[in-house]
Amino acid sequence: MVLDKEAGEVRKVALVVGAQGVIGRNLVNYLATLDDWEIIGLSRRGGEPADRVRYVAVDLLDRDDCLEKLSGLAEVTHIFYAAYQDRPTWAELVPPNLAMLINVVEAIEPIALDLRHISLMQGYKVYGAHLGPFKTPARETDAGHMPPEFNVDQQAFLEGRQKGKGWTWSAIRPSVVCGFALGNPMNLAMVIAIYAAISKELGLPLRFPGKPGAYNSLLEMTDAGLLARATVWAATDERCANQAFNINNGDLFRWSEMWPKIARFFDLEVAPSLPMSLAVVMADKEPLWNSVVEKYGLERHPYKDVSSWGFGDFVFSWDYDMFADGSKARRFGFHEYIDTEAMFLNIFGDLRRRKIIP
C-alpha cells in the first residue's frame, strides 16, 4: 500500500481499465467519492483529469504501447479490469479480450510491488447465457460450457498467474449493466431512451421490438452504481479473495410489465409487440436524430455514440429466462439492492438532465 505521510493513512491506487465504458466510468465516479483512493483511468480516448483522478490514453491491444505507457504506474495497488473489445463472433472475441488483460497485467505486475488485487469484470456468458436457454438461476458453482468463451479464458489466466503471488483476484458477474456512458457498445438504457425519443418524434407508440417470447421472459438488470460499489467491496474485503460473485439488482421483472412503465415516462402509448431488428430499422434515422438534437437543443453527440442497436437486438432476443442467484455476495457481506423500475427511470431522468434526450 501507499502511505500518505501528510494524512497519516494508507492510500489505495486504483487502475481502472476501460475507464470510459458504462462500467468503468461509474467505477471511477464511485472511487472518486472515497477519500482513501487515487484513481488512474485507462482507455484509448484518455479523459479529463479531476481531483485524485487522472487518465492514460493507451492501446491495450498493443503490448509495446502498454509497456511504455504503463511503465510509470508502480504505485498501483488494485487493478479493476473492465475493458472490452467487440467482435462479430464468439470465437473472434477471445484473442483481443484475452490479449488486453494479459498486456495490462504483464505491464503492471512486475513494477507494482504493492499490488493487492486484480478485479475481473465478467458476465453471464460464463454460464452460456448468450447461447440460448441455460440453467436458472445461474450460480457461481455451475459447470462450465463448451468454449470459446473469453471470460473463462481471462479468469483462467488470472488464476494461473496468481499462484504463489501476494495479490488476489475476484471475478464480478453482472447481468445487463445500465448506467450513463456514451459510445459504449453495450448500453441498454441508452438504446431504449433513443428508441423512445425517435418513436415519439414520429408520432408512434412504443412497440417492444424483440422476439415474442422475450416479452414475457423473466429477467434482471444490474445498476452501474450498485456494480461499482460491489466491485470495490469484493476487491477490498479479504473474505472475497479468489472468488467469483454474481451481482444483480436483486429483483426480477418481465418486459410485459416494465415496458408500459417505460412508455409512460416518455408519454407514449404502448402498441402490440412487433419483432424487428433495431440495427436495421434505425440505420436510416441519423438525419432524424440530428433534427431532434437541433429542435430540442440537445448536446451534440454523434448518432453512433448514443445508439447501440445491435446490443438492443441481442437483449431483446432473449426468449428465455435470464437471471442468476446473487445470494453468494450477500452471504459474503454485500447487502445492497436496487429497484429495477426506479433504476430505469432514474437513468432516463439523468439523460434528460444531461440534455442527451428531449
Mean predicted confidence (pLDDT) in 238-254: 98
Residues 29 and 90 in one domain: yes
DSSP state, residue 213:
G
- Cβ atoms of 270 and 212 closer than 8 Å: no
144 phi, psi to nearest 5 deg:
-75, 175
Handedness of CA 287, 290, 291, 292 (dihedral sign): positive
Q: Does residue 269 sit in the same domain as residue 120?
A: no
For residue 329, tell me if it sits in a domain: no
Q: What is the pLDDT of residues 281-301, one digit of tens each?
A: 999 999 999 999 999 999 999
- Top pLDDT among 116 and 7 is at 116
Q: Are residues 215 and 122 in the same domain?
A: no
Residue with cell 441455460: 134
146 and 286 share a domain?
no
Angle subtended at Cα 130 by Cα 148 and Cα 338, rounded to the nearest 5 degrees: 130
pLDDT in tens, 194-226: 999 999 999 999 999 999 999 999 999 999 999
Characterize 246-279 residue by residue with b for buried, 16 or more Cβ atoms within 10 angstroms of its Cβ, and e for exposed: bbbbbebbebeebbeebbebbebebeebeeebbe
The closest alpha carbon to 111, from 39, 240, 13, belongs to 13
Number of domains comprising the chain:
2
Give the DSSP letter string of 91-107.
Answer: HHHHHHHHHHHHHHHHH
The domain in which residue 98 lies consists of 11-177+223-247
